[in-house]
Amino acid sequence: MRLQYRQRHFMPGFGISLGYTVFYLSLLVLIPMSVLGLKAFSLDGQVYLDILRDPRTLAAFKLTFGAAFAGAGINLVFGFIVAWTLVRHPFPGRRMVDALVDLPFALPTAVSGIALTTLFARTGLIGRMLEPLGIQIAFAPAGVIVALTFIGLPFIVRTLQPALEDLDPEYEEAALSLGASRLRTFLTVIFPSLRPALLSGFALALARALGEYGSVVFISGNMPMRTEIVSLLIMGKLEQFDYDGATALAVMTLLLSFMILLFLNLLQWRLGRRTQQGG
Amino acid sequence: MKRSYVVLCRCAALLICLGICCGCGSPARQVELLNVSYDPTREFYQQYNAWFTRTWEEEKDSRVLIRQSHGGSGKQARSVIDGLEAHVVTLALAYDIDGIAEHTGLISPAWQTRLPHNSAPYTSTIVFLVRKGNPKQIRDWEDLVRPDVEVITPNPATSGGARWNYLAAWGYALLKELGTLSPPPGDADSAVRDAAEEKARDFVSRLYKNVSVLDSGARASTTTFIQRGIGDVLLTWENEAFLAVEVMAQSGVEIVVPSVSILTEPTVAWVDGVVEKRGTLSEARAYLEYLYRPEAQRLIARHYFRPCTPEYADPQDMQRFAALRLFTIEEAFGSWRAAHEKHFAQDGVFETLFKGAS
């Protein structure tokens, strides 16, 4: 039995790499998280209740999660189009465009926040055109969505690209030649094989958006009850030395995010199994 | 043979090093101080540090190297709480230094009585910045609640300056109702005082209805007002307002000084725990005490702060400061702690201004 177990890992160094993984993850993720956990358990339950009852906090939670979902959703559609174009349609300057996609990764978030605000403010290049139409983006909830869409784009495109590259056009051609409509080809041939990549891209963009601070605080206007995000409230509590309140808020954001990500992962796992069984 | 040669070389190198250290007449003592400060003092401390280092070396024949750290006041205080080894802290509000004292015990609780003038060698106040020519005719606090005026001020949750702005407006309304701020709150919780507080709440609530953007910090608000051209009036520190007008001449803004405002006292303290451990108490203490000297006071006025002893300052610099009725936080609110509890803590007055508004 033991021998069999050993034989499976024909690559050497399993023990050392597992040890390294555990050590590295502990150092980077588990230890910082457990410090937060320890602090969280030492808190009085009243702190959590106070926060849950506070309408300002609830409004911030609603905005943060709502805008993060909206941003990731928008990216899911438009990021897909970008990835599709980049993979399937070679055009001059494609490498340039490809590099542009990574820009939101590299830009300090404060810089992107200020740039977006400059564009969308009442006096900005885009804001000026939208104002007569009665549309306000900067200093309104819509601004938060714009910022979160911006920072989330690379996550969707970069997870979709390899999946699209693996997708052989011959399958689509076969489906089309067998008489399937374009829509049907997309829904039954292309979409199922891209679903795992779409889901994990969505989850990554969502997770990134939930924790965003730098870019949002510039464009949102930070009005209580209207455009305050949870990270700003956490910063505010720290700024006033309310460490307990800040911890409680952080723990609740973390729990909610964790549940959403877990749900997305489970969904992926189930869908994956069904596809395997079905195919 | 070879080995002894190496040893010889090492000895020689050591001797040369020692010779350099002792030989060039360096001062008997050399220490390093870290001054943890807030954003708008950057330019002032740059000059002050040079002057202090020079003076100290002349007087004591010992060298002090001063390193500076700047950032938002609350953020800086938090760094010190989290372990940044500051020898002295020079922050925007006493509340932040109280925070360090309370959370770490590194600073004596009585720190504010150790130096003259509430441990505030320079002060400032809250004034208005309006568009050139003052198109909306904004003259005093009363104009800020007019329905056609848009006000820009930062978010009190994240900005110390924003808290001063808020308290200045509140104090103005109190003073208008009561005519006087003595006796301070707590001594006389009479019905008259309560009624005035209610009026002040109403005034501040109307003022914040006119606010469209609450940036996370004072500098961000200045950007919103000047660069983006949003709002009719910006509430800001007097020293920041001067900087905006004189440094950015093309900014197209001008200062309006209200009839009444709050005396903002940026306070300074040495960090007992750190200077005792490092043995730098005498230097750290002198560094802060010298802020009260004539030369330093002169420098303070030059950098748009109000010196605590104006006689020492250049009269020309002093002319820039308009005369107005200034009230202290103790007069209007009792103390920083009381003001914080009542206005900015969870379920404080500031929060209730926005509830039911969405």
Question: Splitting chain A (279 residues) into consecutive groups of 10 residues, what average pLDDT does each group show?
Answer: 53 84 91 89 87 89 96 96 92 90 90 93 90 90 96 95 91 89 88 90 94 92 91 90 90 92 89 65
Sign of torsion over alpha carbons A88, A93, A97, A103: positive
Helix/strand/coil for B122: strand
Nearest CB neighbour to A225, from listed B81, B228, B355 = B355
Spatial neighbors of B227 by CB under 8 A, at least 6 apart, are A118
Task: Check whether B209 has a pLDDT greater than 60.
Answer: yes
Closest residue in chain B to residue A240, using alpha carbons only: B74
Nearest CB neighbour to B358, from listed A54, A59, A124 = A59
Whole-number Cα distances in Å, A261 to A195, A274, B296:
16, 20, 57
Spatial neighbors of A237 by CB under 8 A, at least 6 apart, are A243, A245, A246, A249, B157
Q: What is the mean pLDDT of residues B145-153?
A: 95
Pairing of strands B325-327, B260-264: parallel
Q: What is the distance between the alpha carbons of residues A57 and B29, in angstroms, rounded to a whole number?
A: 54
* Residue A169: CATH number of its domain: 1.10.3720.10
Pick from B180-189, B191-200, B214-223: least confident: B180-189
Question: Of the candidates A205, A234, A262, A260, which has an alpha carbon nearest to the alpha carbon of residue A36?
Answer: A234
pLDDT of residue A7: 55
Q: What is the distance between the alpha carbons of residues A255 and A277, in angstroms, rounded to a whole number?
A: 33
Per DSSP, what are the bridge partners of residue B68?
Answer: B35
Q: What is the distance between the alpha carbons of residues B354 and B235, in angstroms, rounded to a whole number?
A: 19
Answer whether A124 touches B (CB < 8 Å). yes
Chain A closest-CA separation from residue B13 CA (Å): 42
**What share of chain B has pLDDT > 70, as a percent?**
89
Q: What is the mean pLDDT of residues B249-264?
A: 90
Q: Which amino acid is at B13?
A: A
Neighbour tally for A8: CB within 10 Å:
8
A251 within a domain of the structure (yes/no): yes
Phi and psi at residue B47, to the nearest 5°:
-75, -40
Nearest CB neighbour to B216, from listed A123, A222, A225 = A222
In the DSSP assignment, the letter for residue A77 is: H
Write out chain B residues lying below 8 Å of A240, CB-based. 74, 157, 340, 344-345
Write out chain A residues lying below 8 Å of B354, CB-based. 56, 223-226
A9 within a domain of the structure (yes/no): no
Contact B358 A117 (CB under 8 A): no
Give 3-state DSSP helix, strand, coil % of chain A, rounded to 5.
80, 0, 20
Q: What is the mean pLDDT of residues B115-128?
A: 95
Sign of torsion over alpha carbons B205, B206, B212, B214: negative
A21 within a domain of the structure (yes/no): no
| Best of B214, B340, B343 to mutate (most A CBs within 10 Å, chain A) | B214
Domains of chain B in start order, with CATH, are 29-122+266-318 (3.40.190.10), 126-262+328-357 (3.40.190.10)
Nearest CB neighbour to B358, from listed A121, A222, A225 = A225
pLDDT of residue A273: 78
A219 within a domain of the structure (yes/no): yes
Answer whether A241 touches B (CB < 8 Å). yes
Neighbour tally for B327: CB within 10 Å:
21
Q: What is the mean pLDDT of residues B210-227?
A: 89
Which residues in B154-252 belong to E strands, given as ranges?
A: 211-213, 233-237
User: Kind and range of the H or E element at B125?
Assistant: strand B122-131
pLDDT of residue B231: 93
A6 within a domain of the structure (yes/no): no
Contact A121 B228 (CB under 8 A): yes
Write out chain A residues lying below 8 Å of B212, CB-based. 139, 221, 223
A7 within a domain of the structure (yes/no): no
A179 within a domain of the structure (yes/no): yes
Task: Check whether B243 has a pLDDT greater than 90.
Answer: no
Write out chain B residues lying below 8 Å of A223, CB-based. 211-214, 354
Q: What is the distance between the alpha carbons of residues A118 and A6, in angstroms, rounded to a whole number?
A: 61
Task: Check whether B127 has a pLDDT greater than 80.
Answer: yes
Task: Check whether B260 has a pLDDT greater than 90.
Answer: yes
Helix/strand/coil for B245: helix
pLDDT of residue B346: 81
Burial state string for B248-266 with b = 16 or more CB within 10 A and e = fewer than 16: eeebebebbbbebbbbbbb
Give Cα B93 distance to the centre of its chain. Answer: 6
pLDDT of residue B358: 42
* pLDDT-based confidence at residue B16 (cuts at 50, 70, 90): low
Q: What is the distance between the alpha carbons of residues B239 and B258, in angstroms, rounded to a whole number?
A: 15
Write out chain B residues lying below 8 Å of A228, CB-based. 155
Contact B230 A233 (CB under 8 A): no
Q: What is the distance between the alpha carbons of residues A262 and B6, in angstroms, rounded to a whole number?
A: 64
Question: Of the candidates B69, B98, B263, B91, which has an alpha carbon nearest to the alpha carbon of residue B164?
Answer: B263
| ipTM score above 0.90 | no
Residue with tokens 């560094």: B287
Per DSSP, what are the bridge partners of residue B233?
Answer: B130, B151
Pairing of strands B88-91, B29-37: parallel
pLDDT of residue B5: 60
Answer whether A136 touches B (CB < 8 Å). no
User: Does residue B183 have a cis bond before it (omega within 30 degrees)?
Assistant: yes
Between B159 and B181, whose confidence is greater? B159
Task: Check whether B247 has a pLDDT greater than 70.
Answer: yes
Nearest CB neighbour to A241, from listed B103, B223, B350 = B103
Nearest CB neighbour to B99, from listed A54, A217, A241 = A241
Task: Check whether B254 has a pLDDT greater than 80.
Answer: yes
A25 within a domain of the structure (yes/no): no
Q: Maximum Cα–Cα distance for chain B, whole Å?
A: 97
Contact A223 B102 (CB under 8 A): no
Nearest CB neighbour to A240, from listed B74, B212, B220 = B74
Write out chain A residues lying below 8 Å of B350, CB-based. 224
Quickly count helices (H) and strands (E) in chain A. Answer: 16, 0
Total domains in the fold of chain A = 1
Pick from A49-58, B29-38, B145-154, B188-197: least confident: B188-197
Question: pLDDT, tens digit, for every residue of B39-64?
Answer: 889 889 999 999 999 999 999 888 99
Chain A closest-CA separation from residue B207 CA (Å): 14
Phi and psi at residue B253, to the nearest 5°:
-130, 160
Q: Which residues of B touch A (CB under 8 A)?
A: 72, 74-75, 77-78, 81, 99, 102-103, 155, 157-160, 211-216, 220, 223-224, 227-230, 340, 344-347, 350-351, 353-355, 357-358
Write out chain A residues lying below 8 Å of B344, CB-based. 240
pLDDT of residue B229: 87
Q: What is the distance between the alpha carbons of residues B279 and B226, in angstroms, rounded to a whole number?
A: 46
> B88 and B287 in contact (C-beta within 8 Å)?
yes
Q: What is the distance between the alpha carbons of residues B307 and A274, in angstroms, rounded to a whole number?
A: 76
Chain A closest-CA separation from residue B175 CA (Å): 27
Spatial neighbors of B272 by CB under 8 A, at least 6 apart, are B106, B107, B108, B281
- State both tokens at B115: 């130096």
* pLDDT-based confidence at residue B347 (cuts at 50, 70, 90): confident
Helix/strand/coil for B212: strand
Between A44 and B307, whose confidence is greater? B307
In the DSSP assignment, the letter for residue B293 is: S
Closest residue in chain B to residue A53, using alpha carbons only: B347
Write out chain B residues lying below 8 Å of A233, CB-based. 157
Chain B closest-CA separation from residue A113 CA (Å): 12
Domain that holds residue A62: 53-278
Contact B157 A121 (CB under 8 A): no
